[in-house]
Amino acid sequence: MTLHTILKMGDPRLLLTAQPVTAFDTPELHRLIEDMRETMAVANGAGLAAPQIGVNLQVVIFGTGAVVPRYPDAEPVPRTVLINPTITPMGDEEIEDWEGCLSVPGMRGVVPRWARIRYQGFDPLGGVIDRVAEGFHARVVQHECDHLWGKLYPMRVRDFSRFGFIEVLFPELSDQADD
């Protein structure tokens, strides 16, 4: 396994549209996922997309399995590897809430997201994933999949009076990592 450096906003590789995975259950794919898992764990993140470590493929991982200290009010999100995803909003309700990102360290912003979504894609073996999600789960999926379309959450912030540094906005969380 290899710990990767997480690319930061400003790196043009974070603005690309990622390519679909064409071969499942390969040593290369499993290695990529292991590297992403380890990199996310060390960074204390709730999710990571392959482009964030410079791999331009449609692979995201997310999930907490338990309550994340930085999001103490958020419900647990199932640990998931999601490949070649699509997201369909269910209804037109949006919810605004705070987000951070490992590629935008030290910052938080309020981002509108679909309240309820259906997401579909594949697991590393090529098995179908087809779920309905809401709340924090839906937010994490939308945030991570945005990385595959070259979108970082600050691009979705509408009110920049609610965007800033964690140490100023949430001093009680400033010892925690981002995302």
The least CB distance from residue 102 to Ni ion, in Å, is 6
Q: Give the gyration radius of the chain's Cα atoms.
A: 15
- State the number of binding residues for Ni ion (CB under 5 A): 1
Task: Indicate the SS3 state at residue 52.
Answer: helix
CB of 143 to Ni ion, least distance (A): 6
Residues of this chain, 41-60, that bind Ni ion according to CB under 5 A: none
Closest CA to 82 of 42, 52, 49, 53: 49
* Catalytic annotation present for 144: yes
Strand ranges inside 58-168, DSSP E: 59-62, 80-89, 94-99, 107-114, 116-122, 128-134, 163-165
Helix (H, G, I), strand (E, B) or coil at 144: helix
Which amino acid does the sequence have at 51?
P
Q: What is the DSSP string of 99-115?
A: E--TTSTTEEEEEEEES
Judged by beta carbon, residue 24 or residue 74, the one nearer Ni ion is: 74
Residue 102 buriedness (CB in 10 A; 0-12 / 13-18 / 19+) = buried
Q: Is-contact 82 141, C-beta < 8 A?
A: yes
Q: Which is nearer to Ni ion, 95 or 177 (CB)?
A: 177
* Residue number of the CB atom closest to Ni ion: 101
Nearer to Ni ion, 18 or 101 (CB): 101
Binding of Ni ion at residue 32 (CB under 5 A)? no
Q: How far is the CB of 6 from Ni ion (least distance, A)?
A: 9
In the shown chain, the binding pattern of residues 5 to 24 toward Ni ion, with x for contact by CB under 5 A and - for none, equals --------------------
| Active-site residue (options: 99, 144, 167, 172) | 144
Cβ at position 26, least distance to Ni ion in Å = 25
Of 97-156, binders to Ni ion (CB under 5 A) are 101
Q: What is the DSSP letter of 76?
A: P
Closer CB to Ni ion, 83 or 125, in the complex: 83
Residues found near Ni ion in the complex (CB under 5 A): 101
Catalytic residues: 144
